[in-house]
Amino acid sequence: MDLDAELDRARDLDVSELADAIESIGFECTRCGACCKGYEGDDGPEPHTATVFPDEVRALQEAGGATDPDGDGTGGDDSNDESGTPMEWRDVARPMPYGLVEGDDGPEGETFEWALQTSACGDCRFYEEDDEGQGACRVHEDRPLICETYPFSVALGGTSQPMGEAVNEEGVVRAHECEGLGRDISREDAEELARALKERAVRELREARGVTEAYEPVETGPGEVVVHDSEGAKRPDGTRVQ
């Protein structure tokens, strides 16, 4: 795959045309929480998996526990964790599981990119529900681009596909499984989503190219995991591998 050519295609995406596609498909978030939860896979329960860029991890470290506890974009308690200090890297992100093998001491090997950290039940660690079961994101204002643009993606090589099968496609815009699809969306909201979708496509391809350029194989021992991102090889706690 020619990542430079795909990156050029991403940069040339027309926001207005993307908005047309989003408007045609229709979408309104129902706060069902399905895109933030673990799910039942073919081999049993699977944890929530959403790609997050290294700089997004750092932003979430600083944002910590509750920039928008209601998940409605109105803000709220902007403290970090309960102690008032930024969160640790591993509290925000985990190694992408793909490529790792289960050893005697747990997962081991090399993988690429990071996924948002999950709770014990497999849900995104920043997801919570109110007493009526309505979903909310505790870091709504700082949520990663893949969360901001769900359930949409673009059909370009080298870009990430979010959870759920693609169920609709308009031009290069794909819509993935979500109960909010088909609902009315304003032009303003469609354009805002389109801008974020284009930004995500460009960022994903830049990241993929950066991973390729920075990659150097690292020998791992039992129980050791190395994550390769655009900044180089890292351990699960975010520290660099020397």
Q: Is residue 40 part of a domain?
A: yes
What are 185-229's pLDDT values in tens digits? 999 999 999 999 999 999 999 999 999 999 999 999 899 999 999
Domain ranges, residue 57: 3-63+86-234
Q: Is residue 71 part of a domain?
A: no
Q: Is residue 106 part of a domain?
A: yes
Q: Is residue 7 part of a domain?
A: yes
Detail the DSSP E strand segments found in the chain. 39-41, 44-46, 51-52, 93-95, 101-103, 106-112, 114-116, 127-129, 135-137, 152-154, 166-170, 173-176, 225-229, 232-234
Q: What angle do CA 87, 92, 98 make, to 5 degrees?
A: 155
Between CA 202 and CA 75 the distance in angstroms is 28
Q: Is residue 79 part of a domain?
A: no
**Residue range 157-181: mean pLDDT, rounded:** 92
**What sign results for the dihedral spanned by CA atoms 58, 158, 166, 101?**
negative
Q: Percent of the chain having pLDDT more than 90?
A: 75
Q: Is residue 39 part of a domain?
A: yes
Confidence of residue 42 (pLDDT cuts 50, 70, 90): confident
Residue 41 has pLDDT above 80, yes or no: no
Residue 101 has pLDDT above 70, yes or no: yes
Between CA 116 and CA 97 the distance in angstroms is 11
Contact 210, 18 (CB under 8 A): no
Residue 93 has pLDDT above 90, yes or no: yes
Position 65 scores a pLDDT of 55
pTM, to two decimals: 0.86
Q: Is residue 179 part of a domain?
A: yes
Position 26 scores a pLDDT of 98
Q: How many domains does the chain have?
A: 1
Q: Is residue 23 part of a domain?
A: yes
Q: Which of 109, 133, 114, 70 is nearest to 230 (CA)?
A: 114
Highest mean pLDDT among 61-70, 105-114, 198-207: 198-207
Between CA 18 and CA 108 the distance in angstroms is 40
**And the tokens for 205?**
């391809």
